[in-house]
Amino acid sequence: PPELCLLDDAYQHRSTQAGLNILLTAYDKLYCDDLLVPAGTLRDVRSAAKRADIIVVSKSPTDMDEAQRSSVVERLRPLPHQRVFFSYLEHEPLKPLTSHGYDPSEAESALLFCGIAKPEPLVKELQQRFSKLETMTFRDHHPYSESDVRSIVKRFERLDGANKIIVTTEKDAARLKNSPYLCQFESMPLFVAPIKVRFYEEEKFNEAILSYVRKNHQNR
């Protein structure tokens, strides 16, 4: 039998009796400022936050100081037993998705296509890397059709500049790898923009998780 069950997006399911509840809230839309769907984006009432053991403020700025973090904590008003951590996204070098041998550092122009909820941080990052950036956005979890891929290819062919590439997200790349239409990108410089989630107090966050696992493993 498994010793550990890790559930994603299960906080609002009352029948799930988790030993450790981790609540994520986006920096630019804290749950204390949000509303329940359909008026807002919350999947549970704000008062349910009291069930959390750890609160993670995700997608925070990469240059927050301690005073700024303390200000956010004051707005969240955590209970005595709750610990608050801040995470941010770290953009890594582009990785090839097709075999074309093109160096992305030589590109001046790029076409970004993606189907994610909030593409703005990635768009901002790529705007700093390329002199010209065009974007094609689809709805979150979008399943790419043959006509979608053809539209992307045509848009890329019209993109100005000789040194140009196509960029997408890891999430979109995972869907494309199972698509019969990926072959249409075979001869094109298609790259993935990887991201890594980092924590301001990474060691303390890891220790909080490991401490819970060690304690409950010993009690079995």
Beta-bridged to residue 55, according to DSSP, are 23, 84
For residue 67, give every residue at least 6 positions away whose Cβ sits within 8 Å of its Cβ, in sequence order, or none. Answer: none
Structure tokens at 171: 């999430």
Integer distance in angstroms from the first to the last C-alpha of the chain?
Answer: 13
How much is the pLDDT for 167? 97
Give me the tens of pLDDT residue by residue for the chain, a chain 220 residues long: 677 788 888 888 878 788 899 999 999 999 999 999 999 989 889 999 999 999 999 999 999 999 999 999 999 999 999 999 999 999 999 999 887 778 998 999 999 999 998 899 899 999 999 999 999 999 998 989 999 999 999 999 999 988 999 999 999 999 888 788 888 888 899 999 999 999 999 999 999 999 998 888 755 4
Query: Using the 8-state DSSP alphabet, how is residue 1 labeled?
Result: -
Q: Give pLDDT tens digits for 106-156.
A: 999 999 999 998 899 899 999 999 999 999 999 998 989 999 999 999 999
Q: Where are the alpha helices (DSSP H) in 6-119?
A: 66-76
Distance of CA 122 to the CA centre of its chain: 10
